[in-house]
């Protein structure tokens, strides 16, 4: 620290608040090198320790910062505010911040249109559109996919209410939308302030006016939510969380059920359908068969057992002859079916992993589905192939479309994905033209036999396309992103790292064309590795703010994801979670050994489950990288299952109630494995108080533990915590807050990696 800095000692009620802020520095001039210890080196937050000991399977486990779990407890808010003040003081004083802010804001606030979802119903097209400076995506009506003239605003969430309105952090956000079959109405889930707690409103597509009653608590943070219209557009099935008085407070985000509503009737007349017999952590989506015939109006419920990737399926027969339809169990978790969709031919199409860890497509006629032992009548249409048949779960899977003569499916190629086409007998047909090292999705029927889909790569911005199988024409529609930057001078290469056990790990690297591999520039590595989620190529315009300053940007497809099938997922879950951290370390070592970056100029970044990856990596390999940016991460693996939605994670991570699983969790839990006296890399933790998926206390406790661990270390690196009071896990975060978070992250990286 330079000698012309004035240090003033400030103590904030340490005995009462549990926090002591020492030496908030004010400097008239700073000459400290960018890669030095923090400018305010003598500034630190000393958090009071209040030891608590638990015993798990005869193993005593002590921790000091459990008092930080409750944000309403005395002193916790003051502690959060002190941490925010330290973060602001540190980052706002850096000389490169103004330039970083200008460039990031320029890119993210550019009036660039992004088309996030497109639905075709009759002659109407509805699209979810993002266009800064609007804070949230909004819903529009289109006359054509080939031209944007006649576009009409249908719903701007900023006008729906919520504290803050447009530009305010507490305004509304669209979770998802579902148009009615007749194209006259649209159901929209709207949530507030990043909570993802969505209520459904019905809007008239012609007038934009809200009609009918608002249906509360349809969508949630982890378990999501779903809605499916009846074929006559007079009502819909919907998912429903408990209402006040129906469950204890601890269960209000669990015990999802399926209900049915008829438009124009009192909400009290909505009827319960199914769900009472399902697990507490059931996650449900619903679908309805619209094709004319005997089974029109049949409903399908897909039920996931938490976030572990196990599914069961229930079919509701149509009402008829004055009798109510009945729910029939089609498949149990042990049947290894992972996705189901109605076809246009009175059949259900399943993606199955029974004897096929990379997936196969099977067909079950609805006539056979109502027979005893229905799966015995199913037949394989597309057998397992060397690549992975993508399965998805949610309101809009977008990876499978069955038309009158074709079956369009998505295959995962170890990160990138592609569409393949088959006839109804399983024979291959010509596929749409597609980008290389790209991601495809959003498949929807267009006309009798075609589809609309989107694709994107690391260097090609997203666009929606149509494919007509008769002419075999792939057409780029007018729904395309024209970003404020181009990646023409950059290329993508895929290299393979070798993990600790010999497994080959793909690493996707975005680099300047013709760059010399001389280890002189900075690099940023990211990954996820959980829940069977595929990390696919995406165009991130704001990455240009890094690339143009010499960065290499890389993403690893580590185990725990689904890039190479369910086996790949399971090799990074439960007792095998350590493989994820070994894979990521191998990817980092590859970048270093190949000359992309030197160890002291490597940064790593991740979020959510990827935040756990960051935490485990920095405590296990503190020498591996110079800087760590971790968003909404999970760090205390022994108490994560006790959070409001923590039970959903048990199928993926395990539970402390099981001795073997406890041993594995304790062995890698970042919070419990931080060691005193270790010079950890520079760390920036970001979290949101409204996060419904990962409790913000995870970041609070980990920040306190890391700060304590580095006390007394010679030339310690900074550990900063940034808490937003008006955002959550990332979904529904307003543009202004997204910009602010990115500016802070980039400023931190530039500072700690010595980027001028």
Of 525, 511, 665, 519, nearest to 584 by C-alpha is: 525
Indicate whether this model's pTM tops 0.85.
yes
Task: Give pLDDT, residue 166.
Answer: 38
Residue 371 token pair: 């027979």
Mean pLDDT by 10 residues, the chain (756 residues): 30 37 35 37 77 98 97 94 96 96 96 90 89 91 88 91 40 92 96 88 96 96 92 98 92 95 97 94 95 94 90 94 89 95 94 95 97 96 95 76 94 96 96 94 89 95 95 94 94 97 98 95 97 93 96 98 94 97 98 97 96 98 98 96 89 96 98 97 94 89 96 92 86 86 97 94
Task: Give pLDDT, residue 392.
Answer: 79
The span from the CA of 3 to the CA of 88, in Å, is 22
**Per-residue b or e along 700-714, where b marks 16 or more CB atoms closer than 10 Å to that residue's CB:** bbbbbbbbbbbeeee
The span from the CA of 237 to the CA of 274, in Å, is 11
Cis amide leading into 133 (omega within 30): yes
Task: Give pLDDT, residue 43.
Answer: 56
Of 517, 507, 693, 694, nearest to 604 by C-alpha is: 507
Task: Give pLDDT, residue 161.
Answer: 58
The span from the CA of 549 to the CA of 542, in Å, is 12
The span from the CA of 515 to the CA of 531, in Å, is 35
DSSP 8-state class, residue 68: G
The span from the CA of 241 to the CA of 276, in Å, is 11
**Secondary structure (H, E, C), 167-198:** CCCCCEEEEEEEECCCCCEEEEEEEECCCCCE
The span from the CA of 153 to the CA of 611, in Å, is 37
Q: How far is CA 534 from CA 211, 385, 389, 528, 642, in A?
A: 38, 18, 12, 9, 27
Task: Give pLDDT, residue 168.
Answer: 38
Determine contact, residues 104/542, Cβ cutoff 8 Å.
Answer: yes
Of 555, 557, 552, nearest to 598 by C-alpha is: 552
Task: Give pLDDT, residue 396.
Answer: 60
Determine contact, residues 44/710, Cβ cutoff 8 Å.
Answer: no
| DSSP per position, 99-119 | HHHHHHHHHHTS---EEEEEE
The span from the CA of 384 to the CA of 382, in Å, is 7
The span from the CA of 530 to the CA of 609, in Å, is 6
The span from the CA of 163 to the CA of 161, in Å, is 7
Of 11, 19, 21, nearest to 76 by C-alpha is: 19
């Amino acid at each position: 620290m330079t000698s012309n800095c004035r240090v003033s000692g400030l103590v904030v009620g340490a005995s009462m608040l549990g926090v002591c802020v020492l030496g908030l520095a004010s400097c008239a001039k700073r000459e400290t090198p960018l890669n030095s210890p923090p400018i305010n080196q003598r500034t630190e937050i000393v958090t009071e320790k209040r030891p608590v000991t638990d015993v798990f399977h005869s193993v005593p486990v002590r921790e000091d910062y459990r008092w930080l779990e409750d944000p309403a407890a005395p002193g916790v808010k003051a502690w959060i505010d002190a941490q925010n003040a330290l973060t602001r003081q540190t980052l706002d004083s850096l000389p490169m911040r103004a330039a970083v802010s200008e460039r990031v804001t320029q890119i993210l606030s550019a009036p660039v249109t992004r088309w996030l979802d497109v639905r075709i119903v009759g002659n109407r097209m509805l699209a979810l559109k993002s266009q800064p400076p609007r804070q949230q995506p909004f819903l529009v009506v289109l006359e054509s996919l080939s031209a944007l003239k006649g576009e009409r605003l249908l719903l701007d969430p900023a006008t729906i209410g919520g504290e803050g309105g447009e530009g305010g952090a507490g305004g509304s956000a669209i979770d998802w939308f579902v148009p009615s079959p007749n194209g006259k109405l649209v159901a929209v889930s709207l949530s507030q302030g990043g909570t993802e707690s969505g209520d459904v409103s019905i809007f008239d597509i012609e007038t934009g006016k809200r009609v009918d009653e608002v249906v509360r608590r349809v969508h949630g943070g982890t378990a999501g939510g779903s809605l499916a219209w009846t074929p006559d557009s007079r009502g819909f099935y919907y998912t429903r969380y408990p209402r006040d008085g129906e469950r204890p407070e601890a269960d209000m985000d669990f015990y999802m059920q399926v209900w049915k509503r008829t438009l124009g009737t009192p909400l009290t007349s909505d009827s319960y359908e199914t769900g009472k017999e399902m697990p507490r952590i059931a996650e449900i989506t619903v679908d309805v068969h619209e094709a004319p015939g005997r089974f029109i109006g049949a409903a399908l419920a897909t039920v996931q057992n938490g976030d572990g990737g196990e599914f069961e399926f229930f079919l509701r027969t149509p009402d008829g002859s004055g009798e109510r339809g009945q729910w029939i169990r089609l498949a149990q978790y042990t049947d290894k079916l992972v996705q189901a969709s109605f076809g246009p031919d009175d059949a259900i199409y399943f993606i199955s992993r029974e004897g096929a860890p990379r997936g196969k497509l099977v067909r079950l006629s609805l006539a056979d589905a109502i027979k005893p032992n229905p799966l015995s009548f199913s037949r394989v249409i597309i057998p397992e192939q060397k690549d992975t048949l993508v399965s998805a779960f949610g309101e809009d899977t977008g990876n499978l479309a069955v038309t009158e003569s074709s079956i369009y499916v998505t295959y995962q190629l170890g990160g990138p994905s592609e569409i393949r086409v088959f006839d109804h007998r399983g024979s291959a047909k010509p596929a749409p033209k597609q980008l290389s090292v790209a991601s495809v999705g959003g498949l929807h029927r267009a006309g009798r036999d075609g589809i609309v889909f989107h694709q994107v790569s690391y260097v090609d911005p997203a666009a929606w396309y149509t494919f007509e199988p008769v002419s075999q024409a792939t057409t780029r529609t007018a729904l395309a992103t024209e970003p404020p930057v181009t990646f023409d001078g950059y290329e993508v290469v895929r290299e393979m790292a070798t993990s600790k056990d010999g497994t080959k790990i793909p690493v996707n690297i975005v680099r300047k064309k013709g760059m010399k591999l001389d280890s002189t520039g900075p690099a940023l590595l990211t990954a996820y590795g959980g829940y069977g989620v595929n990390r696919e190529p995406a165009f991130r315009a704001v990455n240009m703010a890094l690339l143009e300053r010499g960065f290499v940007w890389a993403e690893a497809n580590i185990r725990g994801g689904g890039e190479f099938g369910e086996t790949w997922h399971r090799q990074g879950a439960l007792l095998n979670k350590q493989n994820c951290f070994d894979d990521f370390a191998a990817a980092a070592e590859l970048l270093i050994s190949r000359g992309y970056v030197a160890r002291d100029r490597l940064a790593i970044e991740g979020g959510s489950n990827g935040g756990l990856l960051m935490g485990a990596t920095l405590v296990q390999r503190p020498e591996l990288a110079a800087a760590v940016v971790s968003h909404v991460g999970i760090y205390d693996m022994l108490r994560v299952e006790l959070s409001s939605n923590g039970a959903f994670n048990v199928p993926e991570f395990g539970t402390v109630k099981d001795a073997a699983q406890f041993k594995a969790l304790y062995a890698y839990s970042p919070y419990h494995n931080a060691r005193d006296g270790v010079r950890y890399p520079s760390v920036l933790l970001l979290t949101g108080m409204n996060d419904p998926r990962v409790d913000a206390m995870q970041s609070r406790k980990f920040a306190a533990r890391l700060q304590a661990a580095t006390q007394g270390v010679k030339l310690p690196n900074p550990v900063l915590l940034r808490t937003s009071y008006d955002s959550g896990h990332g979904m529904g975060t307003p543009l202004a807050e997204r910009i602010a978070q990115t500016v802070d992250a980039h400023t931190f990286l530039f500072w700690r990696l010595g980027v001028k």
